[in-house]
Structure 1
Amino acid sequence: MAFDTEQEPGMTESVAPETRGFRLNHCMLRIKDPERALAFYSQVFGMRLLRRLDFPELEFSLYFLARLEDGKTPPEDESQRTEWTFNQEGILELTHNWGTEKQADFSYHDGNSEPQGFGHICFSVPDLDVAVRWLDDNQVPFVKRPDEGGLKDVAFVTDPDGYWIEVIEPARLSGMGRR
C-alpha cells in the first residue's frame, strides 16, 4: 500500500470529496512600512510582487508576493492577474494599514514574545550554508543559527517587522523528529 498521510488523533480517516480543489493560497502578515518590507522580501528572499490591491475606503493595502518558479509568469491584465494570484500556492500577503509607517512607536506583535501565538513563516533553500552567508551579507538579524540550540540545521531570522522566518534545507532534515 502506498503512503497516503501520517495519522494522528483528530485526523479524519479520509478526505471529504467536498474539499476537492481546496489548497492553502496565502498567509498574511501585517506590516508597518510597505517600502521597507517589500525591499526586504524582494532583495533578501527573491520574492516578486504579483498584485497590489488598495482599499481607500478602509485605508489599507494588500501586497501579494511569491517566489515564482522560472518560466512561470502572471498574466499582464490586472483582473486576470488578480484571479491568477488567488489560484496559486505559497503566497505571502503583506497588509499595510495606512499611516502606521509615520508612527514612531508603532509595532505589531511578532507572536513569539509573550503572550505567544503566531510563530513563523518558512523558506526552504537548496543550500543552507550559502543561504546563511547571503543572510549575513544582507545584515539580516538571526534569532538562531543552524549550529545553535538543540535543533540543528534550522535557522531563524527576523524581517523588518520582527516576524520570525525559518530557513531550512530539506535534504538536511530527513532524520528530524523521529520517534
Structure 2
Amino acid sequence: MHDNFQGEQHPGVEPAPEATRGFRLNHSMLRVKDPEVSLAFYSRVFGMSVLRRLDFEEMQFSLYFLANLEADDQVPEDAAARSTWTFQQRGLLEFTHNWGSEEQEGRIYHDGNAEPQGFGHICFAVPDLHAAVAWFDENDVEFIKRPEQGKLKDVVFVKDPDGYWIEVVQPSLMANMGDA
C-alpha cells in the first residue's frame, strides 16, 4: 500500500484543494414510499440498522439513516450524540419518507434507470456472492441480473421495494474487472 495515493489521474481530475481536507461522503438518499416495507427489506436482506430517525412535522417528512454496523462500532445511546456520530460516518443510506406516500398506488418514484436515465444504483460488497444470491432467492428478492447473466460476470443487480437497483459484488472477484 502506498500511503500517499492521490487517486488515478484522468482528464478533468485536479489535485484536492487544501480547503477540502476532511471532506467525506457521508450518505446517499433514496425516497421511499413506505418506510416499514423499506426498513424491513434493508434490515432483513442486507443487515442494515437504523442509526437515527429524524422527523420534520412541519414539512411532513421523516429521515432514516441506515448503516451496516461492525462489532466494534461504538454508537452513542444519547440521541444528540448519536446524530453527531451518524453524520461522521461513511457509506450510509438515508431514506426520506414523505408522509402519506404509503397510501399512493404502485411505485411512485423514478428508479433513475428508465428514460431519461440519471441515478443508477447503490452497491453492497459481500464476502461471498454466491451465498448472497442464495440468500436473495430465499428472501424472494427481485433480480435484474444474476452473476452468470450478461457480459459482466460475477456482478448482481437486484431491486428494492421501491424499484431502486442495488448492485452486489464480491470484492475479490473485482480485481480484473474492466481495463486495469
TM-score (norm 1): 0.96
Aligned residue-pair number: 178
Q: Could you say which residue in structure 1 is the equivalent of 2:84?
A: 83
Q: CA contact under 8 A between 1:60 and 1:98: conserved in structure 2?
A: yes
Deviation at 1:105, TM superposition (A): 4.1
Q: Could you say which residue in structure 2 is the equivalent of 1:125?
A: 126
Relative to structure 1, the CA distance from residue 94 to residue 2 in structure 2 (aligned partners, 3 Å threshold; closer, same or farther) is closer
In the alignment, the residues of structure 2 paired with residue 169 and residue 29 of structure 1 have an alpha-carbon distance, to the nearest angstrom, of 23
SS in 1 for 2:90: coil
Q: CA contact under 8 A between 1:100 and 1:106: conserved in structure 2?
A: no
Deviation at 1:2, TM superposition (A): 6.3
Report whether the alignment pairs 1:4 with 2:6.
yes
The one-letter code matched in structure 1 to 2:31 is: R
Deviation at 1:106, TM superposition (A): 5.2
The gaps in structure 1 that reach 5 residues or longer are none
Q: CA contact under 8 A between 1:120 and 1:165: conserved in structure 2?
A: yes
| Deviations, residues 95-149 of structure 1 (Å, cap 9, x unaligned) | 0000000112451000011111100000000110100000111010000001000
When the two chains are superposed, the root-mean-square deviation of aligned CA atoms in Å is: 1.3
Relative to structure 1, the CA distance from residue 17 to residue 2 in structure 2 (aligned partners, 3 Å threshold; closer, same or farther) is closer
In the alignment, the residues of structure 1 paired with residue 70 and residue 22 of structure 2 have an alpha-carbon distance, to the nearest angstrom, of 21
In the alignment, the residues of structure 1 paired with residue 91 and residue 69 of structure 2 have an alpha-carbon distance, to the nearest angstrom, of 9
Give 1:16-165 correspondences, 5 Å limit: 16-105=17-106, 107-165=108-166
Q: Which runs of 4+ in 1 moved over 2 A?
A: 1-4
Relative to structure 1, the CA distance from residue 2 to residue 22 in structure 2 (aligned partners, 3 Å threshold; closer, same or farther) is closer
Relative to structure 1, the CA distance from residue 71 to residue 109 in structure 2 (aligned partners, 3 Å threshold; closer, same or farther) is same
Overall identity of the aligned pairs, in % = 62
In the alignment, the residues of structure 1 paired with residue 125 and residue 98 of structure 2 have an alpha-carbon distance, to the nearest angstrom, of 29
SS in 1 for 2:116: coil
TM-score (norm 2): 0.96
SS in 2 for 1:149: coil
